[in-house]
Amino acid sequence: MIIGVNERGEKHFLAIEDGVRESTQSWREVLLDLKKRGLKVPPKLAVGDGALRFWAALDEVYPEPRHQRCRVHKTANVLNYLPKAVQPKAKRALQEIWMAEDRASAHKAFDHFVQTYQAKYPKAVACLEKDREALLAFYDFPAEHWVHIRTTNPIESTFATIRHRTDRVKGCVSRNTLLAMIYKLGMSAEKRWRKTRGFNYLAKVIEGVKFRDGVEVTSETDNSRNAA
């Protein structure tokens, strides 16, 4: 599934397709179809989980977009490498990274997590560190958009509803009728999606206006930053 946002801040499905175990070829076909249907201008940012095959296909078809890894998926992946007794405290430490006011504070929280858990749980730290930049890409976009672009939850919550229905009818329908049902369930869920906050900034993002720590970069912001 792929979701996009229009100029009014309304989220819409751009693709709902079945694939072969999220293979690179399956994702390549989805992305090439988007390009064929009119998505000629590359997206500014792609948000996804750690499925390497999606990112491989994206780099082939649309190499320009920045990468933003989903914080919810990354949190779950990191916690999987930690004992249950340690997970609540570690989860709070991870949230301090994603919820930091600016990139510098996020890096400090990131480094603190690494220093705290590196010795005993190197696999958890390695899982986090390998995506440091992709986890913090959202800081270069409007702050109003952060709640939407730090995670793939809009897709995950919708797909949870679809999975609940499809699990109940598994084996009772053909591939075509199952895809039709998934499509209709997706379209029904789409009507309940909230608009993107700060959608008036979308035009600036598309035009290439720079943002730093969620704030539009202007000569005034640069001067105040230098003064600080």
**Residue 42 covered by a domain:** yes
**Residue 104 covered by a domain:** yes
Do both 44 and 32 map to the same domain?
A: yes
Do both 61 and 168 map to the same domain?
A: yes
Do both 63 and 164 map to the same domain?
A: yes
Do both 10 and 46 map to the same domain?
A: yes
- Integer Cα distance of 153 and 158 in angstroms: 8
Do both 58 and 24 map to the same domain?
A: yes
Q: What is the pLDDT of residue 57?
A: 94
Do both 18 and 62 map to the same domain?
A: yes
**Residue 223 covered by a domain:** no
Q: What is the pLDDT of residue 173?
A: 72
In order, the DSSP letters of 54-91 are HHHHHHHH--SSEEEE-HHHHHHHHHTTS-TTTHHHHH
**Residue 213 covered by a domain:** no
Do both 56 and 162 map to the same domain?
A: yes
**Residue 212 covered by a domain:** no
Q: What is the pLDDT of residue 8?
A: 84
Asked if residues 45 and 137 have their Cβ atoms less than 8 Å apart, the reply is yes
Which residue type sits at 211?
Answer: F
Asked if residues 179 and 167 have their Cβ atoms less than 8 Å apart, the reply is no
**Residue 224 covered by a domain:** no
Q: What is the pLDDT of residue 15?
A: 87
Do both 129 and 160 map to the same domain?
A: no
**Residue 209 covered by a domain:** no
Q: What is the pLDDT of residue 209?
A: 94
Do both 81 and 188 map to the same domain?
A: no
**Residue 148 covered by a domain:** no
- Integer Cα distance of 33 and 39 in angstroms: 9
Domains in the chain, number? 2
Q: What is the pLDDT of residue 222?
A: 60
Q: What is the pLDDT of residue 50?
A: 84
Q: What is the pLDDT of residue 223?
A: 53
Q: What is the pLDDT of residue 76?
A: 95
Domain residues for the domain of 94 are 71-136
Weakly modelled stretches of the chain, pLDDT under 50? none
